[in-house]
Chain A
Amino acid sequence: MSASTATASASLSDCPRPGRLRRFSQLRAYTQTLSHSSSGGHRSRNSLSSRVPWLSPSSSGPESPTLQVGNSTAPGPESDQPALSRYTSAPTASSHGLGVDTQTSSAESSRSTPPNEPTQRSTNVMARLRSASAVQGRPPRTIALARTATQEAPTSLPEPTPAATDAPESTGTIPTDAVQVTAVSANKKATIRFFPYQDTFQSSRPSLPFVPIARTLPSESSVIRVGRYSERDGIPIPNPTEPSDAPVGFKSKVVSRKHCEFIYSNGQWHIKDVGSSSGTFLNHMRLSQPNMVSRLYSIKDGDIVQLGIDFRGGEEMIFRCVRIRIECNRSWQQQPNEFNKNTESLIKNLGKGDGADYSGCRECSICLGSVLRPYQCLFMAACAHVWHYKCISRLLHQDYPMFQCPNCRAFTDLSAEVDDSNDVVENEEAKGPTEATSTNDSAEVPAGTQPAQATTTTSVEGQQPTPLEPHSEEPDFVTDVENLHLQDDNDEASGSGIDMEDGHSSDFPAPNASNDDLARSATISIPGFQPTQPLNVPAARQPHLRADTPGRSETSDDNPLTPRNDSGPLAFDGRAGMR
């Protein structure tokens, strides 16, 4: 570093370079000076990172050795616990990732995670995650709280307020009810969406095109039957405002009349081949022999299901197989939460000129420049991630009408009907508290996880300005937001001061950076877990796995039709894909 910094500043002084390069080195020098001058502002982040070595790999604090221990996957669970305890929720996330991964990979990958994993291999993921997080969450929380409390008692604030700028400070002071709030309810309806998937990387033939399909089960026992479209039966057109388990039909000869079924039980989606002749493939694995019924296989967000095999080379459309990308457990993203509400308020601010409050500015993950400034063409996806139109346009036109968010890999159907049911904002404000209370007494709350999540979230997010939001509903959203951010990971600054570029965000980089660090540590520090899942990207898996955590997936009542969702243009309810 020192060498090149030296060159940078040297080149600044004597400027022997051609224009572009000179500007480039000026830029470097600029950022250098900036980060120097603003080192005071960095204090909070530094203190955070020195306390939490995992969060910032670059920190060479006294605890660095511990970092190595915590990071390495070799040591057993015991050695991981202390490490875990220090980093509240991100590590929990990563352990979730590990937990699930170890399930899917071979037994030899005995990683740092839970002792309870082998016993529960065949049970559903949710249950396992619940227990895993319960086991892991509890000790961390107490310790983490104790630590932060001791370290920050003098500065701690009674509640996360918009004015608070120091990320870690509010950590010790989470209201205890935050700990208990999880929207859990057994009678919530489950939604699943099917998107066409093109296997572009294996240069195979395109699969059968179809419009994205969404289904919301009217009851837990309903089953979504998938088979060949038949002219005689036609495809019943489900009423888009009601839950429906209408069968899904594909116009392909390689799809059997009764091909497979999607079943929702115990908070988990499953797929079953019901005796198709040309097979159902889950992530390239055939579920059963021809004409044989398979057992239930659990599916998760991002899984690829293929129906049949191309016949006669698939030259004709009617002989092409169907490849479906599954989207489920995503509805936490479609509800109002800190992240998308924040975006909403920013957008409201856009036209207000200089007086507007841009403190929540997020950067464009493509160019890493600040996004939300007036007079720029922006594009916002359904997941509330925002980019410059110019930066994202390439991806917009690539698979139109399908758009995959490069930050969180959520799919949006760009050709979907405009959803105009989002006019009652106040409704949700009023609902928030109710929701919180009603869910408070739910029995299923995994006491271990929530606290951990809430802790981090508050420390990371709680100080964001949330003018529109009553505090009572915050905890709930906070849990959600935390996930959003984890998944949002890489689009944040890597903690080296680039957020500094717009002056108004000077109180914001700290949360941002720590977020990023959280996310990065979650992704980076677990090598081992990629190879086993070629179809799933670690970074993308993370959010999904987290979506599987008991708290959230039931928080995310998968019902797209509840009035809870109509809280403004940024809450998305899954109707987008419905036809």
Chain B
Amino acid sequence: MGSQKRIAKELSELVESPPDGITVELADEANLYKWKVFMEGPEGSPYQDGKFLVNLTLPTEYPFKPPTVSFGTKIYHPNVTNDDKGSMCLGMLRADEWKPSSKIAAVLQFARQLLLEPMPDDAIEGRIAEQYKNDRKRYDEIAREWTRKWAVSE
């Protein structure tokens, strides 16, 4: 119950003054715990011009437990699983690293920063990380292509 108040507060904050390139809304107005986040690919990254749907799910124990973040839009990224789940691996969301005082805004900004600078050393998709490190050009190419294919609406 207590968490609802906090979540509502964070949501209204995010809606009022959304961080750069991020818009937030509830996936379902009746459920405070599932958010739909639209994240623009940061400029200078191969994800530029793309608009990625990110699903944010808050546990009922929030803020004591971290939220989970997954990409609803397919994305070619070392830190996002290449399946239909699109799970994202964020260090700060690991159970032992999460702090109740962390806020969703910070999580989202971190996630977006990750688009700009993938962390191949903490990769969830080893193959893409490998490519990111060794064949950056090819990685950029594929990532751009995927962005065009999945994340650009026109």
Contacts and interface: CB of A to CB of B under 8 A. Distances in A.
Interface of A: 1, 3-5, 7-8, 17, 21, 24, 27-28, 30-32, 35, 57-60, 64, 68, 71-74, 105-106, 109, 200-201, 365-369, 390-391, 394-395, 406-407, 409, 489-491, 493-498, 520, 523-525, 527-528, 530-532, 537-540
Contacts of B15: 1, 4-5, 8, 28, 32
Interface in B91-150: 91-92, 95-97, 99-103, 105-106, 109-110, 113-114, 116-119, 121-122
B99 A57 contact: no
A32 to B, nearest CB: 6
Contacts of B23: 1, 3-4
Contact of A28 (B2, B11, B20, B103): B11
Given A490-B106, A520-B109, A58 B99 contact: no
A361 to B, nearest CB: 16
A314 to B, nearest CB: 21
A520 B106 contact: yes
Interface string B1-45: 010011011111111111110011110011010000000001110
21 contacts: A1-B24, A24-B32, A31-B16, A57-B109, A58-B18, A58-B19, A58-B20, A73-B117, A74-B117, A368-B9, A369-B6, A394-B64, A489-B101, A524-B109, A524-B113, A527-B110, A530-B97, A530-B122, A531-B91, A539-B99, A539-B102
B30 A21 contact: yes
B86 interface: no
Given A366-B6, A368-B6, A527 B100 contact: no
Contacts of A3: 23, 25
A57 B12 contact: no
Contacts of B6: 366-369
A35 B25 contact: no
Interface in B43-79: 43-44, 63-64
A537 B13 contact: no
Nearest to B15: A4
B17 A58 contact: yes
A528 B116 CA distance: 11
Contacts of B95: 201
Give the top 7 A-B pairs by smallest Cβ distance, nearest first: A530-B91, A531-B122, A365-B101, A490-B101, A496-B17, A496-B13, A4-B25
Contacts of A530: 91-92, 97, 119, 122
Contacts of B43: 68
A301 to B, nearest CB: 15
B143 to A, nearest CB: 16
B29 to A, nearest CB: 6
B117 A494 contact: no
Nearest to A201: B96
A491 B117 contact: no
Contact of B103 (A21, A68, A490): A490
Contacts of A489: 101
B115 to A, nearest CB: 10
Contacts of B92: 523, 530, 537-539
Interface residues of B, number: 50
B80 to A, nearest CB: 13
A528 B121 CA distance: 8
A32 B64 CA distance: 27
B91 to A, nearest CB: 3
Nearest to B121: A531
A531 B43 CA distance: 25
B32 to A, nearest CB: 7
Contacts of A365: 100-101
A494 B91 contact: no
Nearest to A390: B2
Given A4-B26, A72-B116, A531-B119, 13 more contacts: A4-B23, A5-B16, A28-B16, A35-B17, A57-B19, A395-B64, A395-B100, A493-B13, A527-B110, A527-B118, A532-B121, A538-B91, A539-B99
Contact of B101 (A109, A390, A406): A406
B13 A21 contact: no
Given A394-B64, A520-B109, A531-B121, A32 B16 contact: yes
Nearest to B29: A21
A538 B66 CA distance: 15
Given A21-B29, A497-B16, A105 B99 contact: no
B24 to A, nearest CB: 7
B63 A366 contact: yes
A67 B100 CA distance: 28
Given A1-B15, A58-B17, A530-B91, A490 B117 contact: no
A74 B97 CA distance: 25
Contact of A367 (B5, B113, B116): B5
Nearest to B115: A527
Given A32-B16, A201-B95, A528 B10 contact: no
A496 B96 CA distance: 28
A27 B18 contact: no
Given A495-B17, A496-B16, A524 B99 contact: no
B9 to A, nearest CB: 5
A491 B64 contact: no
B113 A527 contact: yes
Given A490-B103, A524-B110, A530-B92, A24 B8 contact: yes
A317 to B, nearest CB: 25
A200 B94 CA distance: 13
A72 B95 CA distance: 27
Contacts of B42: 68
A106 B23 CA distance: 36
A214 B110 CA distance: 37
B56 to A, nearest CB: 14
B69 to A, nearest CB: 14
Contacts of B109: 57, 520, 524
Contact of A527 (B11, B12, B106, B119): B119
B119 A406 contact: no
A64 B113 CA distance: 14
Report which residue of B9, B16, B105 has the largest number of chain A beta carbons within 10 angstroms of its beta carbon.
B16
A71 B25 CA distance: 27
Contacts of A532: 121
Contact of A109 (B24, B106, B121): B121
A32 B32 CA distance: 18
A58 B16 CA distance: 12
A376 B114 CA distance: 40
Contacts of A497: 13, 16-17
